[in-house]
Chains A and B, each alone.
Chain A
Amino acid sequence: MSLCQSIDTLAMAFLDDELVAEERRELELHLLSCESCRQHVEGERADLSLIRKALVAPPAPGALRVSIQRALDAEDLDAARAVRRRSITFVGRWLLPGAATLAAAAAIAVFAFVPPPEVAPATTTVAREAVRQQGLSLPLEVQGASTAPWLRQHFAPISPPVFTEPNVELLGARLTAIAGHDAALLKYGVAVGNNRFTLSAVVIDSLREGELEGGQPIKIGDRTLHVHDADGVPAVTYVDESGPPGSRIGYTFACQRLSAHELIELVVSSDLITRVQQGR
Protein backbone atom coordinates (compact mmCIF):
# COMPACT_ATOMS: atom_id res chain seq x y z
CA MET A 1 0.00 0.00 0.00
CA SER A 2 1.75 3.15 -1.14
CA LEU A 3 1.54 6.41 0.70
CA CYS A 4 -0.28 8.01 -2.24
CA GLN A 5 -3.05 5.43 -1.98
CA SER A 6 -3.59 6.17 1.71
CA ILE A 7 -3.16 9.92 1.53
CA ASP A 8 -6.74 10.68 2.71
CA THR A 9 -6.14 8.77 5.94
CA LEU A 10 -2.57 9.95 6.38
CA ALA A 11 -3.28 13.63 5.73
CA MET A 12 -6.11 13.62 8.20
CA ALA A 13 -4.15 11.84 10.94
CA PHE A 14 -1.13 14.03 10.20
CA LEU A 15 -3.11 17.27 10.56
CA ASP A 16 -4.85 15.96 13.70
CA ASP A 17 -1.45 15.06 15.14
CA GLU A 18 -2.39 11.40 15.43
CA LEU A 19 0.56 9.85 13.59
CA VAL A 20 3.37 8.26 15.55
CA ALA A 21 6.79 9.82 15.03
CA GLU A 22 7.96 7.25 12.49
CA GLU A 23 4.79 7.55 10.38
CA ARG A 24 5.03 11.31 10.46
CA ARG A 25 8.65 11.32 9.31
CA GLU A 26 7.81 8.91 6.51
CA LEU A 27 4.95 11.12 5.31
CA GLU A 28 6.99 14.32 5.56
CA LEU A 29 9.71 12.74 3.43
CA HIS A 30 7.10 11.60 0.92
CA LEU A 31 5.56 15.09 0.72
CA LEU A 32 8.97 16.51 -0.28
CA SER A 33 8.94 14.43 -3.43
CA CYS A 34 5.20 14.08 -4.21
CA GLU A 35 3.58 17.28 -5.50
CA SER A 36 0.08 15.79 -5.67
CA CYS A 37 0.08 14.58 -2.04
CA ARG A 38 1.58 17.87 -0.91
CA GLN A 39 -1.26 19.78 -2.57
CA HIS A 40 -3.74 17.42 -1.00
CA VAL A 41 -2.37 18.01 2.51
CA GLU A 42 -2.37 21.79 2.00
CA GLY A 43 -5.99 21.69 0.77
CA GLU A 44 -7.00 19.66 3.81
CA ARG A 45 -5.14 22.06 6.06
CA ALA A 46 -7.07 25.01 4.59
CA ASP A 47 -10.41 23.20 5.04
CA LEU A 48 -9.58 22.34 8.62
CA SER A 49 -8.69 25.92 9.42
CA LEU A 50 -11.93 27.12 7.77
CA ILE A 51 -13.96 24.65 9.87
CA ARG A 52 -12.20 25.37 13.15
CA LYS A 53 -12.53 29.12 12.67
CA ALA A 54 -16.24 28.80 11.85
CA LEU A 55 -16.95 26.53 14.81
CA VAL A 56 -15.46 28.77 17.51
CA ALA A 57 -18.35 28.96 19.97
CA PRO A 58 -19.39 31.80 22.30
CA PRO A 59 -18.59 31.45 26.02
CA ALA A 60 -21.27 30.29 28.44
CA PRO A 61 -23.73 33.12 29.29
CA GLY A 62 -23.59 34.49 32.84
CA ALA A 63 -27.22 33.51 33.40
CA LEU A 64 -26.29 29.87 32.76
CA ARG A 65 -23.59 29.97 35.42
CA VAL A 66 -26.09 31.38 37.91
CA SER A 67 -28.71 28.76 37.12
CA ILE A 68 -26.10 25.98 37.40
CA GLN A 69 -25.17 27.22 40.89
CA ARG A 70 -28.87 27.26 41.82
CA ALA A 71 -29.38 23.73 40.54
CA LEU A 72 -26.37 22.54 42.54
CA ASP A 73 -27.68 24.31 45.67
CA ALA A 74 -31.00 22.48 45.32
CA GLU A 75 -29.12 19.22 44.83
CA ASP A 76 -27.05 19.85 48.00
CA LEU A 77 -30.19 20.54 49.97
CA ASP A 78 -31.72 17.26 48.81
CA ALA A 79 -28.55 15.43 49.74
CA ALA A 80 -28.54 17.00 53.23
CA ARG A 81 -32.16 15.91 53.70
CA ALA A 82 -31.34 12.38 52.62
CA VAL A 83 -28.45 12.27 55.11
CA ARG A 84 -30.76 13.49 57.84
CA ARG A 85 -33.36 10.87 57.01
CA ARG A 86 -30.69 8.22 57.18
CA SER A 87 -29.34 9.43 60.52
CA ILE A 88 -32.81 9.58 62.08
CA THR A 89 -33.53 6.09 60.81
CA PHE A 90 -30.26 5.04 62.39
CA VAL A 91 -31.39 6.25 65.80
CA GLY A 92 -34.73 4.55 65.17
CA ARG A 93 -33.06 1.21 64.82
CA TRP A 94 -31.97 1.44 68.46
CA LEU A 95 -35.45 2.16 69.70
CA LEU A 96 -37.23 -1.06 70.52
CA PRO A 97 -40.87 -1.43 71.49
CA GLY A 98 -42.19 -2.64 74.89
CA ALA A 99 -39.99 -4.26 77.50
CA ALA A 100 -36.84 -3.87 75.49
CA THR A 101 -37.11 -0.09 75.53
CA LEU A 102 -35.38 0.45 78.87
CA ALA A 103 -32.40 -1.69 78.02
CA ALA A 104 -32.22 -0.08 74.60
CA ALA A 105 -32.41 3.38 76.16
CA ALA A 106 -29.29 2.60 78.15
CA ALA A 107 -27.56 1.59 74.94
CA ILE A 108 -28.62 4.83 73.26
CA ALA A 109 -27.38 6.82 76.24
CA VAL A 110 -23.95 5.34 75.75
CA PHE A 111 -24.01 5.37 71.99
CA ALA A 112 -25.79 8.54 70.99
CA PHE A 113 -25.13 10.96 73.82
CA VAL A 114 -21.36 10.98 73.71
CA PRO A 115 -21.01 14.59 72.63
CA PRO A 116 -18.65 15.29 69.75
CA PRO A 117 -15.53 16.98 71.14
CA GLU A 118 -16.36 20.31 69.49
CA VAL A 119 -19.66 20.68 71.41
CA ALA A 120 -19.10 23.23 74.13
CA PRO A 121 -21.06 23.22 77.42
CA ALA A 122 -24.13 25.47 77.68
CA THR A 123 -22.48 28.51 79.14
CA THR A 124 -25.18 31.08 79.79
CA THR A 125 -27.83 30.86 82.48
CA VAL A 126 -30.55 31.31 79.88
CA ALA A 127 -29.38 28.40 77.76
CA ARG A 128 -28.87 26.10 80.75
CA GLU A 129 -32.26 26.94 82.24
CA ALA A 130 -33.99 26.44 78.88
CA VAL A 131 -32.48 23.01 78.46
CA ARG A 132 -33.29 22.09 82.09
CA GLN A 133 -36.98 22.96 81.60
CA GLN A 134 -37.08 21.01 78.38
CA GLY A 135 -36.12 17.90 80.34
CA LEU A 136 -39.03 18.32 82.83
CA SER A 137 -42.42 16.69 82.18
CA LEU A 138 -44.45 19.91 82.34
CA PRO A 139 -48.09 19.60 81.22
CA LEU A 140 -49.09 21.32 77.97
CA GLU A 141 -51.61 24.18 78.09
CA VAL A 142 -52.68 23.86 74.49
CA GLN A 143 -52.52 20.99 72.01
CA GLY A 144 -52.81 20.34 68.31
CA ALA A 145 -53.90 22.77 65.61
CA SER A 146 -54.90 25.58 67.95
CA THR A 147 -51.31 25.86 69.28
CA ALA A 148 -50.10 28.49 66.83
CA PRO A 149 -53.03 30.97 67.28
CA TRP A 150 -52.94 30.41 71.05
CA LEU A 151 -49.22 31.32 71.13
CA ARG A 152 -49.83 34.52 69.17
CA GLN A 153 -52.61 35.49 71.57
CA HIS A 154 -50.95 34.59 74.88
CA PHE A 155 -47.23 34.84 74.22
CA ALA A 156 -45.81 36.85 71.32
CA PRO A 157 -46.53 37.51 67.66
CA ILE A 158 -44.40 34.61 66.46
CA SER A 159 -45.18 31.37 64.69
CA PRO A 160 -43.83 28.08 66.00
CA PRO A 161 -41.01 26.70 63.82
CA VAL A 162 -42.30 24.32 61.14
CA PHE A 163 -40.21 21.34 60.05
CA THR A 164 -40.08 20.19 56.47
CA GLU A 165 -39.74 16.60 57.62
CA PRO A 166 -43.23 15.10 57.45
CA ASN A 167 -42.54 12.97 60.53
CA VAL A 168 -42.11 15.96 62.88
CA GLU A 169 -45.33 17.58 64.11
CA LEU A 170 -46.16 20.19 66.73
CA LEU A 171 -47.92 18.53 69.69
CA GLY A 172 -48.63 21.58 71.86
CA ALA A 173 -47.20 24.32 74.05
CA ARG A 174 -47.19 25.96 77.48
CA LEU A 175 -46.04 29.29 78.81
CA THR A 176 -43.07 29.51 81.12
CA ALA A 177 -40.36 31.87 82.26
CA ILE A 178 -36.63 31.52 81.61
CA ALA A 179 -34.27 33.67 83.73
CA GLY A 180 -36.78 36.50 84.00
CA HIS A 181 -37.96 36.37 80.37
CA ASP A 182 -41.36 35.36 79.06
CA ALA A 183 -40.97 32.08 77.21
CA ALA A 184 -42.98 29.35 75.54
CA LEU A 185 -42.16 25.67 75.73
CA LEU A 186 -43.08 23.77 72.56
CA LYS A 187 -43.24 20.00 72.17
CA TYR A 188 -42.90 18.23 68.82
CA GLY A 189 -43.59 14.58 68.19
CA VAL A 190 -40.97 12.83 66.06
CA ALA A 191 -41.97 9.55 64.44
CA VAL A 192 -39.28 7.13 63.37
CA GLY A 193 -40.76 3.92 62.10
CA ASN A 194 -43.04 2.63 64.88
CA ASN A 195 -41.22 4.67 67.51
CA ARG A 196 -42.14 8.14 68.69
CA PHE A 197 -40.15 10.55 70.79
CA THR A 198 -40.32 14.20 71.72
CA LEU A 199 -38.33 17.15 70.53
CA SER A 200 -38.72 20.26 72.65
CA ALA A 201 -38.16 23.87 71.80
CA VAL A 202 -38.08 26.89 74.11
CA VAL A 203 -38.86 30.25 72.55
CA ILE A 204 -37.64 33.18 74.66
CA ASP A 205 -38.99 36.69 74.11
CA SER A 206 -37.08 40.03 74.34
CA LEU A 207 -33.60 38.66 74.90
CA ARG A 208 -30.75 41.04 75.62
CA GLU A 209 -27.60 40.82 73.57
CA GLY A 210 -25.36 37.89 74.45
CA GLU A 211 -27.87 36.23 76.78
CA LEU A 212 -28.14 33.03 74.77
CA GLU A 213 -24.52 32.85 73.70
CA GLY A 214 -21.97 30.12 74.24
CA GLY A 215 -21.68 26.76 72.62
CA GLN A 216 -20.09 25.94 69.30
CA PRO A 217 -21.10 28.30 66.48
CA ILE A 218 -22.19 26.74 63.18
CA LYS A 219 -22.73 28.95 60.16
CA ILE A 220 -25.72 28.10 57.97
CA GLY A 221 -25.74 30.64 55.16
CA ASP A 222 -25.77 34.04 56.89
CA ARG A 223 -27.33 32.62 60.09
CA THR A 224 -25.43 31.18 63.02
CA LEU A 225 -26.61 28.30 65.17
CA HIS A 226 -24.89 27.30 68.41
CA VAL A 227 -24.53 23.73 69.58
CA HIS A 228 -24.41 23.12 73.31
CA ASP A 229 -23.86 20.15 75.52
CA ALA A 230 -26.26 20.54 78.46
CA ASP A 231 -25.12 17.84 80.86
CA GLY A 232 -25.00 15.20 78.15
CA VAL A 233 -28.08 16.37 76.28
CA PRO A 234 -27.35 18.09 72.97
CA ALA A 235 -29.05 21.44 72.46
CA VAL A 236 -29.08 23.83 69.54
CA THR A 237 -29.73 27.55 70.02
CA TYR A 238 -30.53 30.27 67.55
CA VAL A 239 -31.18 33.97 68.11
CA ASP A 240 -33.41 35.80 65.65
CA GLU A 241 -32.10 39.37 65.55
CA SER A 242 -34.17 40.54 62.61
CA GLY A 243 -36.57 42.50 64.84
CA PRO A 244 -35.90 45.91 66.44
CA PRO A 245 -33.18 46.09 69.17
CA GLY A 246 -34.38 44.69 72.49
CA SER A 247 -36.80 42.29 70.82
CA ARG A 248 -34.45 39.44 70.01
CA ILE A 249 -36.14 36.06 70.04
CA GLY A 250 -34.18 33.07 71.25
CA TYR A 251 -34.83 29.46 70.28
CA THR A 252 -33.44 26.44 72.11
CA PHE A 253 -33.98 22.94 70.76
CA ALA A 254 -33.21 19.81 72.72
CA CYS A 255 -33.86 16.13 72.21
CA GLN A 256 -32.63 13.27 74.35
CA ARG A 257 -32.89 10.78 71.55
CA LEU A 258 -30.81 12.59 68.95
CA SER A 259 -27.10 13.19 68.67
CA ALA A 260 -25.89 16.79 68.35
CA HIS A 261 -25.32 16.21 64.64
CA GLU A 262 -28.82 14.84 64.06
CA LEU A 263 -30.36 17.66 66.06
CA ILE A 264 -28.56 20.27 63.92
CA GLU A 265 -29.78 18.57 60.76
CA LEU A 266 -33.32 18.66 62.10
CA VAL A 267 -33.18 22.33 63.12
CA VAL A 268 -31.73 23.28 59.75
CA SER A 269 -34.72 21.60 58.12
CA SER A 270 -37.09 23.93 59.98
CA ASP A 271 -38.32 27.17 58.45
CA LEU A 272 -36.50 29.16 61.18
CA ILE A 273 -33.38 29.58 59.13
CA THR A 274 -35.13 31.00 56.12
CA ARG A 275 -38.17 32.85 57.31
CA VAL A 276 -38.26 36.46 58.21
CA GLN A 277 -39.48 37.00 61.71
CA GLN A 278 -43.22 37.34 61.47
CA GLY A 279 -45.13 40.31 62.70
CA ARG A 280 -42.13 42.26 63.92
Chain B
Amino acid sequence: MLAVREKRAEFERQALVHTDALFGAAYRLTRNARDAEDLVQDSLLRAYRFWDSFEQDSNCKAWLLRIVTNTFINEYQRKKRSREVLDAATAEQDAVDGVLMHADASARQTPERALLDRSVSDDVQRALDALPDDFRTAVVLCDVQGLSYKEIAEIMQTPVGTVMSRLFRGRKLLATALREFALAEGYVRNDAAPAEAGATKDAPIDLEQYRAARAAKEGSR
Protein backbone atom coordinates (compact mmCIF):
# COMPACT_ATOMS: atom_id res chain seq x y z
CA MET B 1 0.00 0.00 0.00
CA LEU B 2 2.75 2.38 1.00
CA ALA B 3 4.81 1.52 -2.07
CA VAL B 4 1.79 2.19 -4.27
CA ARG B 5 1.21 5.57 -2.65
CA GLU B 6 4.85 6.58 -3.02
CA LYS B 7 4.87 5.55 -6.65
CA ARG B 8 1.72 7.58 -7.29
CA ALA B 9 3.13 10.70 -5.58
CA GLU B 10 6.37 10.42 -7.54
CA PHE B 11 4.48 9.92 -10.82
CA GLU B 12 2.31 12.95 -10.16
CA ARG B 13 5.35 15.06 -9.32
CA GLN B 14 7.45 14.05 -12.33
CA ALA B 15 5.02 12.97 -15.05
CA LEU B 16 1.61 14.58 -14.56
CA VAL B 17 3.16 18.06 -14.57
CA HIS B 18 3.64 17.47 -18.32
CA THR B 19 -0.08 16.82 -18.97
CA ASP B 20 -0.50 20.15 -20.82
CA ALA B 21 2.54 19.52 -22.99
CA LEU B 22 1.40 15.97 -23.78
CA PHE B 23 -2.07 17.17 -24.65
CA GLY B 24 -0.58 19.83 -26.93
CA ALA B 25 1.42 17.21 -28.80
CA ALA B 26 -1.50 14.77 -28.91
CA TYR B 27 -3.86 17.49 -30.13
CA ARG B 28 -1.56 18.32 -33.02
CA LEU B 29 -0.87 14.66 -33.80
CA THR B 30 -4.49 13.50 -33.76
CA ARG B 31 -5.94 16.83 -34.95
CA ASN B 32 -8.95 16.60 -32.66
CA ALA B 33 -9.55 17.09 -28.96
CA ARG B 34 -11.42 13.84 -28.32
CA ASP B 35 -8.74 11.60 -29.78
CA ALA B 36 -6.08 13.74 -28.09
CA GLU B 37 -7.69 13.16 -24.67
CA ASP B 38 -7.86 9.41 -25.27
CA LEU B 39 -4.29 9.35 -26.48
CA VAL B 40 -2.96 11.28 -23.46
CA GLN B 41 -4.88 9.16 -20.97
CA ASP B 42 -3.80 5.87 -22.58
CA SER B 43 -0.21 7.04 -22.74
CA LEU B 44 -0.09 8.22 -19.12
CA LEU B 45 -1.63 4.98 -17.92
CA ARG B 46 0.96 3.07 -19.90
CA ALA B 47 3.70 5.27 -18.45
CA TYR B 48 2.37 4.61 -14.94
CA ARG B 49 2.45 0.86 -15.51
CA PHE B 50 6.02 1.04 -16.71
CA TRP B 51 7.12 3.72 -14.26
CA ASP B 52 9.73 1.33 -12.84
CA SER B 53 11.45 1.27 -16.21
CA PHE B 54 11.78 5.06 -16.35
CA GLU B 55 15.38 5.97 -15.61
CA GLN B 56 15.21 8.58 -12.87
CA ASP B 57 17.15 11.77 -13.68
CA SER B 58 16.63 11.29 -17.41
CA ASN B 59 14.27 13.56 -19.35
CA CYS B 60 10.79 12.58 -18.21
CA LYS B 61 9.01 14.73 -20.76
CA ALA B 62 10.95 13.15 -23.65
CA TRP B 63 10.20 9.69 -22.23
CA LEU B 64 6.48 10.50 -22.03
CA LEU B 65 6.46 11.98 -25.52
CA ARG B 66 8.02 8.79 -26.84
CA ILE B 67 5.12 6.84 -25.30
CA VAL B 68 2.58 9.28 -26.76
CA THR B 69 4.21 9.08 -30.20
CA ASN B 70 4.46 5.30 -30.19
CA THR B 71 0.92 4.88 -28.94
CA PHE B 72 -0.25 7.28 -31.62
CA ILE B 73 1.62 5.46 -34.39
CA ASN B 74 0.65 1.98 -33.22
CA GLU B 75 -2.96 2.40 -32.16
CA TYR B 76 -4.57 5.62 -33.21
CA GLN B 77 -3.55 5.31 -36.80
CA ARG B 78 -5.05 1.83 -36.92
CA LYS B 79 -8.20 2.99 -35.15
CA LYS B 80 -8.45 5.98 -37.46
CA ARG B 81 -8.19 3.79 -40.55
CA SER B 82 -11.01 1.56 -39.35
CA ARG B 83 -13.08 4.63 -38.54
CA GLU B 84 -12.45 6.06 -42.00
CA VAL B 85 -13.97 2.92 -43.46
CA LEU B 86 -16.99 3.46 -41.24
CA ASP B 87 -17.10 7.17 -42.12
CA ALA B 88 -17.08 6.30 -45.80
CA ALA B 89 -20.09 4.03 -45.26
CA THR B 90 -21.84 6.77 -43.27
CA ALA B 91 -21.04 9.33 -45.95
CA GLU B 92 -22.62 7.10 -48.56
CA GLN B 93 -25.75 6.80 -46.43
CA ASP B 94 -25.73 10.57 -45.87
CA ALA B 95 -25.52 11.13 -49.60
CA VAL B 96 -28.69 9.09 -50.04
CA ASP B 97 -30.38 10.84 -47.09
CA GLY B 98 -29.03 14.16 -48.33
CA VAL B 99 -31.51 14.26 -51.15
CA LEU B 100 -34.23 14.49 -48.51
CA MET B 101 -32.24 16.48 -45.96
CA HIS B 102 -30.63 19.06 -48.18
CA ALA B 103 -33.21 21.86 -47.82
CA ASP B 104 -33.24 21.56 -44.05
CA ALA B 105 -29.46 21.47 -43.75
CA SER B 106 -28.86 24.58 -45.84
CA ALA B 107 -31.46 26.44 -43.80
CA ARG B 108 -29.42 25.72 -40.65
CA GLN B 109 -26.10 26.80 -42.19
CA THR B 110 -26.06 30.41 -40.99
CA PRO B 111 -23.27 32.82 -42.02
CA GLU B 112 -21.98 32.85 -38.42
CA ARG B 113 -21.81 29.08 -38.45
CA ALA B 114 -19.97 29.05 -41.76
CA LEU B 115 -17.44 31.53 -40.38
CA LEU B 116 -16.85 29.39 -37.30
CA ASP B 117 -16.34 26.32 -39.42
CA ARG B 118 -13.55 28.05 -41.24
CA SER B 119 -11.64 29.48 -38.30
CA VAL B 120 -7.88 29.88 -38.25
CA SER B 121 -7.59 26.87 -35.99
CA ASP B 122 -9.37 24.72 -38.57
CA ASP B 123 -6.90 25.92 -41.16
CA VAL B 124 -4.04 24.74 -38.97
CA GLN B 125 -5.66 21.35 -38.52
CA ARG B 126 -6.30 21.04 -42.24
CA ALA B 127 -2.72 22.03 -43.01
CA LEU B 128 -1.54 19.36 -40.54
CA ASP B 129 -3.92 16.83 -42.04
CA ALA B 130 -2.18 17.20 -45.37
CA LEU B 131 1.21 16.22 -43.90
CA PRO B 132 2.47 12.63 -43.94
CA ASP B 133 2.49 11.23 -40.37
CA ASP B 134 6.29 11.10 -40.09
CA PHE B 135 6.63 14.73 -41.15
CA ARG B 136 3.89 15.84 -38.78
CA THR B 137 5.41 13.94 -35.86
CA ALA B 138 8.82 15.52 -36.42
CA VAL B 139 7.31 19.02 -36.68
CA VAL B 140 5.14 18.56 -33.58
CA LEU B 141 8.03 17.24 -31.48
CA CYS B 142 10.29 20.09 -32.58
CA ASP B 143 7.98 23.09 -32.96
CA VAL B 144 5.29 22.32 -30.36
CA GLN B 145 7.53 20.58 -27.81
CA GLY B 146 10.91 22.18 -28.47
CA LEU B 147 12.82 18.88 -28.43
CA SER B 148 16.31 18.65 -29.92
CA TYR B 149 17.08 16.69 -33.12
CA LYS B 150 18.76 14.03 -31.02
CA GLU B 151 15.75 13.62 -28.72
CA ILE B 152 13.40 13.42 -31.71
CA ALA B 153 15.71 10.87 -33.37
CA GLU B 154 15.52 8.71 -30.23
CA ILE B 155 11.74 8.96 -30.06
CA MET B 156 11.22 8.24 -33.75
CA GLN B 157 14.08 5.71 -33.81
CA THR B 158 15.64 7.18 -36.92
CA PRO B 159 19.00 8.84 -37.58
CA VAL B 160 19.29 12.60 -36.94
CA GLY B 161 19.65 13.14 -40.71
CA THR B 162 16.24 11.57 -41.30
CA VAL B 163 14.72 13.76 -38.59
CA MET B 164 16.18 16.84 -40.25
CA SER B 165 14.86 16.01 -43.70
CA ARG B 166 11.38 15.16 -42.32
CA LEU B 167 11.38 18.36 -40.35
CA PHE B 168 12.59 20.38 -43.33
CA ARG B 169 10.00 18.99 -45.73
CA GLY B 170 7.23 19.02 -43.16
CA ARG B 171 7.86 22.67 -42.37
CA LYS B 172 7.98 23.63 -46.04
CA LEU B 173 4.60 21.99 -46.71
CA LEU B 174 3.08 23.42 -43.55
CA ALA B 175 4.36 26.96 -44.12
CA THR B 176 3.07 26.91 -47.70
CA ALA B 177 -0.36 25.69 -46.60
CA LEU B 178 -0.56 28.20 -43.74
CA ARG B 179 0.37 31.07 -46.04
CA GLU B 180 -2.25 29.98 -48.55
CA PHE B 181 -4.97 29.82 -45.91
CA ALA B 182 -3.88 33.16 -44.49
CA LEU B 183 -3.97 34.67 -47.98
CA ALA B 184 -7.40 33.22 -48.68
CA GLU B 185 -8.71 34.66 -45.40
CA GLY B 186 -7.01 38.01 -46.00
CA TYR B 187 -4.91 37.72 -42.85
CA VAL B 188 -1.71 38.53 -44.75
CA ARG B 189 -1.05 40.55 -47.85
CA ASN B 190 0.18 38.91 -50.99
CA ASP B 191 3.64 40.46 -50.70
CA ALA B 192 4.55 38.29 -47.68
CA ALA B 193 7.47 36.61 -49.42
CA PRO B 194 7.78 32.84 -49.31
CA ALA B 195 11.18 31.71 -48.09
CA GLU B 196 12.45 30.20 -51.30
CA ALA B 197 15.05 32.71 -52.41
CA GLY B 198 18.57 31.34 -52.41
CA ALA B 199 17.60 27.81 -51.41
CA THR B 200 19.61 25.19 -53.23
CA LYS B 201 16.88 22.86 -54.35
CA ASP B 202 18.53 19.45 -54.42
CA ALA B 203 21.05 19.87 -51.58
CA PRO B 204 20.41 17.13 -49.03
CA ILE B 205 19.37 18.17 -45.52
CA ASP B 206 22.00 16.49 -43.42
CA LEU B 207 24.15 18.22 -40.84
CA GLU B 208 26.39 15.19 -40.42
CA GLN B 209 27.15 15.15 -44.11
CA TYR B 210 27.99 18.84 -43.99
CA ARG B 211 30.25 18.26 -41.01
CA ALA B 212 31.98 15.32 -42.66
CA ALA B 213 32.59 17.33 -45.84
CA ARG B 214 33.87 20.24 -43.79
CA ALA B 215 36.21 18.03 -41.79
CA ALA B 216 37.51 16.42 -44.98
CA LYS B 217 38.25 19.87 -46.42
CA GLU B 218 40.05 20.90 -43.22
CA GLY B 219 42.08 17.71 -43.34
CA SER B 220 43.15 18.15 -46.95
CA ARG B 221 44.56 21.61 -46.26
**Chain A interface (Cβ within 8 Å of chain B)?**
1, 4-10, 12-13, 16, 18, 23, 36-37, 39-40, 42-44, 46-48, 50-52, 54-61, 63-65, 67-68, 71-72, 75-76, 79-80, 83, 264-265
The answer to whether B22 touches A60 (Cβ under 8 A) is yes
Chain B residues, Cβ within 8 Å of A65: 19
Q: A13-B207, A65-B19 are in contact. Are A76 and B4 (CB under 8 A)?
A: yes
A65–B198 CA distance with the chains assembled, in angstroms:
48
Chain B residues, Cβ within 8 Å of A64: 19, 23, 37, 40-41
B80 CB → nearest A CB, Å: 19
Chain B residues, Cβ within 8 Å of A47: 171-172, 175, 195
Within the complex, which residue of B27, B49, B149, B203 is in contact with A18, where a contact is CB–CB below 8 Å?
B149
A51–B143 CA distance with the chains assembled, in angstroms:
8
Chain A residues, Cβ within 8 Å of B213: 1, 6
Chain A residues, Cβ within 8 Å of B48: 72, 75
B204 CB → nearest A CB, Å: 8
Q: A1-B213, A64-B23, A75-B48 are in contact. Are A37 and B178 (CB under 8 A)?
A: no
Within the complex, which residue of A43, A52, A59 is in contact with B197, where a contact is CB–CB below 8 Å?
A43
Chain A residues, Cβ within 8 Å of B175: 47, 50-51
Q: A51-B143, A75-B45 are in contact. Are A12 and B37 (CB under 8 A)?
A: no
User: Closest B-chain residue to A35, C-beta based?
Assistant: B198
A61–B28 CA distance with the chains assembled, in angstroms:
15
Within the complex, which residue of B33, B144, B148, B195 is in contact with A43, where a contact is CB–CB below 8 Å?
B195
User: Closest B-chain residue to A76, C-beta based?
Assistant: B4
The answer to whether A55 touches B143 (Cβ under 8 A) is yes
Within the complex, which residue of B23, B195, B214 is in contact with A57, where a contact is CB–CB below 8 Å?
B23
Contact with A along B114-142 (1 / 0, CB 8 A): 00000010001001000000000001101
Q: A36-B198, A57-B23 are in contact. Are A48 and B171 (CB under 8 A)?
A: yes
The answer to whether B168 touches A8 (Cβ under 8 A) is yes
Contact with A along B26-38 (1 / 0, CB 8 A): 0110000100010
Q: A47-B195, A72-B8 are in contact. Are A12 and B167 (CB under 8 A)?
A: yes
Identify 14 new A-B residue pairs, CB closer than 8 A, beyond the known A39-B198, A55-B143. A7-B203, A9-B206, A12-B167, A23-B211, A40-B198, A46-B195, A48-B171, A51-B143, A54-B178, A61-B33, A65-B19, A67-B41, A79-B4, A80-B1
Question: Shortest 10 CB-CB distances between A and B: which pairs?
Answer: A43-B195, A57-B24, A60-B23, A40-B198, A47-B175, A36-B198, A1-B213, A59-B20, A57-B27, A60-B19
The answer to whether A9 touches B205 (Cβ under 8 A) is yes
A57 CB → nearest B CB, Å: 3
The answer to whether A59 touches B203 (Cβ under 8 A) is no
> Does B194 belong to the interface (CB within 8 Å)?
yes
The answer to whether A52 touches B203 (Cβ under 8 A) is no
Chain B residues, Cβ within 8 Å of A52: 143
A79–B168 CA distance with the chains assembled, in angstroms:
45
> Does B11 belong to the interface (CB within 8 Å)?
yes
Within the complex, which residue of A8, A16, A23, A59 is in contact with B199, where a contact is CB–CB below 8 Å?
A8
> Does B61 belong to the interface (CB within 8 Å)?
no
The answer to whether A51 touches B198 (Cβ under 8 A) is no
Within the complex, which residue of B139, B140, B179, B210 is in contact with A10, where a contact is CB–CB below 8 Å?
B210
> Does B16 belong to the interface (CB within 8 Å)?
yes
> Does B67 belong to the interface (CB within 8 Å)?
no
User: Closest B-chain residue to A74, C-beta based?
Assistant: B45
Chain A residues, Cβ within 8 Å of B205: 8-9, 12
> Does B200 belong to the interface (CB within 8 Å)?
yes
A216–B174 CA distance with the chains assembled, in angstroms:
63
